[in-house]
DNA sequence: AATCACTTCAACCGCCTATGA
DNA sequence: TTCATAGGCGGTTGAAGTGAT
């Protein structure tokens, strides 16, 4: 014996909702309020499963829903909350008024997850992957990270943004944000370097020049990681 | 213009939990 | 305590849209 279905599905409509169905459901909920979802379709004159009605209402028809893309602030909040809560989308959604768990889950899977992976950050653990995936063609995170930055066309960085390796790779939770310094962020050796050892950003920049170059070359990376609350920089 | 590949997101499925008898 | 039921949740699917060739 298999599990009993949540409702009698014989003769029920599936697939995309029509405007007429939406109208019936909205009218019923606005008139009667949210009550027992099992009886809603019958009372509203719909050939739908109660679960389907609840989903349609909460994810699409609710009048307090925000439409459109997530703002940068919302994206950062989702990443931050995901680091704390994991895939508990409904909990995450409860912190973003007008957004649904389904919407946030979809956005995570289609946008944020990919961007974190491209940054070399594991979207599940929020820790740096080793070795990092290298992609030199795309922007990273909500903010564009320059892969090659010039200063009056005099100095070109030999590094791509994804070449930045985080030396501090120990486990941590969001309540214990690690504090790392420039000496702990490693860059791969350059072809011209005398040694094959990775060098720190601090070393790289001190050899090179001044803080302006530091900000121009790595400021966006720091800003983004800092915004994620994954790391604090000293 | 036609076809193919890729992306997006609404909706479904099945499991888990809370509640009441 | 056990069982049945409903609601809620997260994972997954597939149709529609979009861009590339």
C1' (C16) to CA (A44) span, angstroms: 28
* pLDDT score for A111: 87
Give strand pairing partners of A151. A155
Over residues A37-53, the pLDDT tens digits come to 989 998 999 999 999 99
* pLDDT score for A48: 92
Nucleotides of B under 7 A from a protein CB: 7-15
Whether the per-residue pLDDT at A171 is higher than 80: the answer is: no
**List of A residues 35-54 with CB within 7 A of strand B:** 48-49, 51-52
Whether the per-residue pLDDT at A2 is higher than 50: the answer is: no
CB proximity A95–strand B (7 Å threshold): no
- Residue with smallest Cα–C1' gap to B7: A110
C1' (C19) to CA (A5) span, angstroms: 41
Percent of chain A at pLDDT > 70 equals: 50
> How distant, in Å, are the alpha carbons of A13, A34, A98, A120 from that of A17?
9, 19, 21, 40
Question: Residue A129 — very low, low, confident or very high, per pLDDT cuts 50/70/90?
Answer: low
pLDDT: is A131 or A226 the higher one? A131
What is the enclosing helix (H) or strand (E) of A31? helix A19-32
pLDDT: is A152 or A227 the higher one? A227
Please give the average per-residue pLDDT across A150-160, as a whole number: 27
Torsions phi, psi for A125 (to 5 deg): -95, -15
Question: Residue A223 — very low, low, confident or very high, per pLDDT cuts 50/70/90?
Answer: very low
Please give the average per-residue pLDDT across A203-222, as a whole number: 39
C1' (C14) to CA (A106) span, angstroms: 15
C1' (C2) to CA (A6) span, angstroms: 20
C1' (B12) to CA (A7) span, angstroms: 14
CB proximity A94–strand B (7 Å threshold): no
Q: Which CATH number fits domain A19-61: 3.30.70, 1.10.10, 1.10.3470, 2.50.20?
A: 1.10.10
Whether the per-residue pLDDT at A192 is higher than 50: the answer is: no
Please give the average per-residue pLDDT across A79-98, as a whole number: 90
The C-alpha atoms of residue A225 and residue A147 are separated, in whole angstroms, by 16
* pLDDT score for A10: 65
Question: How long, in residues, is chain A?
Answer: 234
Domains A19-61 and A72-118 share a fold: yes
Whether the per-residue pLDDT at A57 is higher than 90: the answer is: yes
Cβ atoms A189, A200 nearer than 8 A: no
Cβ atoms A95, A85 nearer than 8 A: no
* pLDDT score for A9: 60
C1' (B5) to CA (A102) span, angstroms: 26
DSSP-based three-state secondary structure for A149: coil
Nucleotides of C under 7 A from a protein CB: 5-12, 16
* pLDDT score for A164: 32
Q: Which CATH architecture has domain A72-118?
A: Orthogonal Bundle (1.10)
Question: Which residue ranges make up each domain of chain A?
Answer: 19-61, 72-118, 150-233
User: Number of C-alpha atoms within 13 angstroms, CB side, residue A36?
Assistant: 5
* pLDDT score for A67: 79
pLDDT, mean over chain A: 63
Question: What per-residue string of b and e applies to A54-77 under the rule 16 or more CB within 10 Å gives b?
Answer: bbbbbeebeeeeeeeebeeebbbb
Which residues, 6 or more positions from A67, have their beta carbon under 8 angstroms from its beta carbon? none
The C-alpha atoms of residue A118 and residue A113 are separated, in whole angstroms, by 9
CA quadruple A134, A164, A203, A143: dihedral sign: positive
């Amino acid at each position: 014996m298999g599990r009993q279905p949540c409702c009698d599905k014989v003769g029920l409509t599936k697939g995309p909702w029509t405007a007429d169905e939406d109208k019936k459901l909205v009218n019923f909920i606005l008139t009667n309020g949210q009550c027992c979802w099992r009886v809603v379709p019958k009372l509203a004159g719909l050939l739908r499963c109660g679960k389907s009605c609840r989903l349609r209402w909460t994810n699409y028809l609710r009048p307090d829903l925000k439409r459109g893309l997530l703002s940068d602030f919302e994206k950062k909040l989702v990443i931050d909350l995901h680091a704390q809560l994991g895939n508990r989308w409904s909990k995450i959604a409860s912190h973003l008024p007008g957004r649904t768990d389904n919407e946030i889950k979809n956005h995570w899977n289609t946008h944020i997850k990919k961007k974190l992976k491209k940054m070399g950050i594991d979207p599940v653990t929020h820790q740096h992957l080793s070795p990092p995936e290298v992609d030199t063609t795309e922007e990273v995170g909500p903010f564009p990270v320059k892969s090659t930055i010039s200063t009056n066309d005099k100095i070109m960085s030999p590094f791509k943004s994804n070449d930045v390796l985080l030396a501090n790779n120990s486990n941590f939770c969001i309540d214990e944000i690690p504090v790392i310094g420039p000496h702990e962020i490693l860059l791969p050796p350059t072809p011209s370097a005398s040694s094959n050892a990775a060098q720190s950003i601090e070393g790289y920049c001190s050899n090179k020049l001044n803080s302006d170059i530091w900000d121009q070359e790595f400021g966006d990376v720091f800003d983004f990681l800092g915004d994620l609350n994954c790391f604090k920089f000293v």
